[in-house]
Amino acid sequence: RGAGAAAMAMNLSRCNTPGGNAGGTGEPLGAKLAVLHKIASMQQEIQRLESELELREKELERERARNTLACSEGTSADDLNKLDLELQSAGAALPRKTSAPSGDATEVKKIKKKTLEDLHREIRLSIAKVSIVSGEALRSIDLLQICLVSSINGEQYCLLERDCFDMSTSERRGFIMPLRRKIRLGDDWRVTLRKTFEEKIGIDPPMQEATFQVDEESYFVSHTQEASSDYPQLQTVTQLHQVVVRVNVKKAQRAGVSLEALGLPGGNDFVTREVCADGRQRLHVWCWTNREQERLELVGNFGKYLSARGIDVSRFGKGSMKSLYQFYVEVHEQRESAIREVRDIAGTQKFELLRTVSLLEVAVVAEIGFRKLMLVSSDQYLDDGRRRKVNQLFVYKLRFGENWKDVMPRAFSERLNVPEEVQKECFEIVEESETYKETLRQSTGYPIRTLYKVWTVTVRITNALHDGLSEFGLPEGSSFVSQEGRLGPNQRGRLHVWTWASMEGDSRQHVFSTAYEELCRTLQDVEDLVLQTTQLAQAESLGLDAPLAQSLEKIQACLAKVTDIDTMMEEVDMAGLRSSQMEGATERQTTDLLDFIVSNYTRNESLAARGHFSRTVSQFNSIDGVEEMPRKRQPGMELLEGHLDDWGVDILEVASRADGKILQCYGEMVLGCFANSKLRCGSDVARAFLDKLASLYLDNPYHNGAHAVQACHLARWIAKSIGLYSSQSSLERVAFILAALCHDVSHFGRNNAFCISTLHPLALLYNDQQVLENMHAATCFKVLYSDHTLNMLGSLKRQDRSQVRAQIVECILSTDMSEHFQAISKFRVRLDSPDFGLERPIDRRMLAQMCLKGGDIGHSALPWGMHVMWAQRITQEFLDQGDEEKRLGLPVSALCDRNASSDLGNSQRGFIHFVCLPLFEALGGFGKSALKPPPGENEERLSQDHEFETSGDEESVRHVNSITLRRGARRREKTDSAVQLHLITSLRANATRWTEDADTVNRILGELGVDPPPAAPPPEETSEA
């Protein structure tokens, strides 16, 4: 103890502390006395610690006994020899003879035995483990390094250990390092943190709570593998856990806790005593050092680490390269990047050191003036005044180990200055938009390659009119500037310039857009701009209010006509002919000529509306009650009863039990109820029509009677879910159901392109225009008009019969897929019109056509098992057509070549994404559901979000989406329809499964006689250090 105190005194005489203590020869006597006084104070502190030690030794008695037993067991010759043999087998045996300082052979043997004992003791105490990996002996340890920081005289100081004295051997180890301790295997670093403070510097848990503040965000783990100074024959793998702990001096003072034992608040050196697990005692000498000195040493070690792994450290700080210090701060303090060792990046078996950076890229989307715009950062101004041209989305660098979902609110708050409360109200994350990719390229600021891990996600602004977004450039879509951090030298603050740019992936376009839609959007934007201009105070003072009002009125009139393009094209202005009488002609002759022109050169529906076809009042648009027709019990009805309003009815299962009468069974349940009431044809006529219709559906794999029922069921479900069915009159429903049941009648398993290329008689008959659709519609009415016992429309008034026929023809022709995108485009434009509503017959007709189109391809949104069966059937038809095209010597149509159909998963996924989703997204923006949730994995969630009620044939609920105009921007009322909640979700889920469920795809290909695609290559092997 005396030797240790003397050595400590000599060391203290050389110390320079923040308090200015110094000692040495030639200094005044007062300074020497001050040093002696400090030594005396430390001796008193040692005595105090000795008294406390006696109490603490009793508490640690059991643990010391266990550890002593472990150490004593470790000294047995058998265990040491066993450990020695294991090391020798890996070529890392400790030498039998080492050079001792005294040259004494006995001393050499002692050193050899002690080395093995130390290694064995570490293993027994679970602070190290030895493993043989690929014939190499590895020693693995976990170290906790604590950076204890305190503010002293306005500057940041860190606690470092300057000396350590072993009281049993009087050995002194001089070094400067932060507070460290080995972590026992299986222990959490926080537990080790508390034990380290208590056992190494004598701070008990209550004092830790009152004094210390752990910076959880600073926690960092690094890995190294190198030869140990204690065991040079072994490679030691060290997992270093680093964390910053701050001393809250003011908090301790308020709590009445004295920090003199830590040398605070003056920053004096101090001494502590530690009792080790094996009973040994050590004295630790601590000093407070400016953090910059600590950093310089750590940066030096960091540079050695990089250099040992092939990084040219000399390139740091040269030219455009950042300094090694900046790299260290980025990795270890800011944690904005990490160091990773990856195998075989360049095709070799060596490890390459990579800098890994995690980025969050956000596409912030808002609807502004009928257009989807995306937020883009155009410029950045750094704290030194430099300007950077970026032109990128919102990009935020993630810290090591952070999850982007947890970071996003903070990122928007820091960079865009949007409070989290406003984010919760107005921002919606589009979960299905999340993508992840990795990009490896050379760093621009460091002599090391960087692996960029990028998460990209879309955030939709649901309420652009919120007052909290006024500084966000909304709702006008104006450019704005935001400040991030503090501006000033070395503050890392910056200014961001943001603009709202046109978005290529407009939801109204999805994957396509027509010139018609662009024209309508342009007119809507012009209307908004003129409207905003009229609201300016200067407009009236300049006398522009009247011209602007007239311009706005004309633009709105033009927009109303363009958005209802079909009606405008059908109507012909006869005002000139009506207002002027032909020379030499009487008024009666002029009227007759006008009627002739309208009847023969325009659509004649206007005449029907004027009553030229029937002098009785039409019932086509009236909504009234429906009487039930007594049903003839058909096989399979029990599977449908009570489930007509369920999306996921297994029609193929019903067809298998219906003895080939699936169409009669379903048709009687959904159509028969109108036979005795509105149609007045009788139940026998309805059944006879259904029997004849079913006989005309051929036994194709896909286009058969079951498909007609499936399409009718899904179309009817969609019509109910968006509120159309309840707004239709009884005759409109009859026309809708008949069109659905007849839309593929007499289909022979080939498409229009095949008919045209083979000069099929139908193609010649219909001049290559909607060949099959025209045939289906014509066949429907041939059946109806072929015999009065089949004519369900025979008892209707002439005008009503004409209207029913017109709607059936329209609906069947709308299933022509060659006009799929044009139909969606017109529907989107019409949907944005302010006067769009279910009270207008033309809008109901358009919706009915869209619902039937959805039912026709709706199997893609069925539960996975049902969807797969329908997909296999349509693929079989395609392959059969391709086989016939080969026999005829014709070019094989797309997706019909049996030798090129192995990529079934991607083709089905593409069909869902590019054909189905645009249609269902357009339908999903309209109406609320009043039905049961479709069965499946989302049923529980749907039942919690919305209440669904079973709806009959005569629903009275009518939902009309409203469009409001506010601050110069229209916004449709947002509703979560069943199409949005379930069908679109199911479509995306099925699309994903086509690329993930390789077993199902291969099974289908095998059953179709197609070779499966080759297996994907295994991923590259990587390891992290």
What stretch of H or E contains 325?
helix 324-328
> What is the distance between the alpha carbons of residues 978 and 980, in angstroms, rounded to a whole number?
5
Helix or strand holding residue 431 (H, E): strand 427-442
The catalytic position among 284, 332, 496, 703 is 703
Within 892-937, residue ranges assigned H as helices are 904-911, 917-924
Chain-centroid distance of CA 376 in Å reads 19
**Quick check: 988 and 877 in contact, CB under 8 A?**
no
**What is the 3-class SS of 799-855, one letter each residue?**
HHHHHHHHHHHHHHHCCCHHHHHHHHHHHHHHHCCCCCCCCCHHHHHHHHHHHHHHH
- 703 noted as active-site residue: yes
Is residue 379 within 8 Å of 430, Cβ to Cβ? no
Instruction: List 156's β-bridge partners, or say none.
Output: 151
Considering only CA atoms, which of 706, 709, 718 is closest in space to residue 647?
718
* CA angle centred on 808, ends 805 and 810, rounded to 5°: 105
Dihedral sign computed on CA atoms, order 436, 442, 444, 445: positive
* Chain-centroid distance, C-alpha 500: 22
Contact indicator for 63, 277 with CB cutoff of 8 Å: yes
In angstroms, the CA 1008 to CA 35 distance is: 94
Contact 408, 458 (CB under 8 A): no
Angle subtended by helix axes 904-911 and 998-1007, to nearest 10: 110
Task: Give the pair of three-digit tokens for residue 123.
Answer: 């293993």
Q: Which residue has the tokens 């302010």?
A: 834
Strand ranges (E), 107-211: 129-133, 136-152, 155-166, 171-182
Rounded CA separation 178/923 (Å): 65
Tokens of 254: 């308020």
With CA atoms as reference, report the closest residue to 164 among 253, 272, 322. Answer: 272
**Distance in angstroms (rounded) separating the CA atoms of residues 461 and 964:** 17
**Taking Cα atoms as reference points, which of 520, 511, 503 lies closest to residue 372?**
503
Q: Which amino acid is at 230?
A: D
CA-closest candidate to residue 833, choices 565, 653, 495, 604: 565
Q: What CA–CA distance (Å, rounded) separates 450 from 353?
A: 9
CB atoms within 10 A of CB 901: 20
DSSP single-letter state for residue 79 = H
Question: What residues contact residue 1011 under an 8 Å CB cut-off, 6+ apart?
Answer: 902, 1005
- Are the C-beta atoms of 412 and 427 separated by less than 8 Å? yes
Specify whether the CB–CB gap between 686 and 790 falls below 8 A: no
Amino acid at 636: G
On the CB side of 695, CA atoms within 13 Å amount to: 7
How far is C-alpha 36 from the chain's CA centre?
67
Catalytic residues: 703
